Amino acid sequence: MAMPTTAIDRKPPDVERTTVTTLVELFARRASEAVDRSAVVDPLAGRQLTWGQLLAQALVVAERLEAAGLRRGDRVVHVGGHGADWIVVDFACLLAGFVQVALHADSPAAERAEQLQLFRPRALICSGSGLAPLRAAPALPRHEVRVDWSSSAGGGEPTALVAGLKQRAAAADPDAPATILISSGTTGRPRGFVHSQRASIEKSSDGLRH
The CATH number of 19-209 is 3.40.50.980
160/81 Cα distance (integer angstroms): 31
Q: What is the pLDDT of residues 123-138, one digit of tens each?
A: 999 998 756 556 555 6
Taking the model in full, what pTM does it have? Answer: 0.84
Query: Within 10 Å of residue 62's Cβ, how many Cβ atoms?
Result: 23
- Helix (H) or strand (E) holding 171, with range, is helix 158-171
Inform me whether the pLDDT recorded for 39 exceeds 90: yes
- Structure confidence at residue 103 (pLDDT): 86
Inform me whether the pLDDT recorded for 88 exceeds 90: yes
209/70 Cα distance (integer angstroms): 38
pLDDT band at 51 (very low <50, low <70, confident <90, very high): very high
- Helix (H) or strand (E) holding 66, with range, is helix 51-67
Q: What is the pLDDT of residues 135-152, one digit of tens each?
A: 555 678 999 999 999 877
pLDDT band at 157 (very low <50, low <70, confident <90, very high): confident
52/150 Cα distance (integer angstroms): 13
- Structure confidence at residue 151 (pLDDT): 75
Domain coordinates of the chain in residue numbers?
19-209
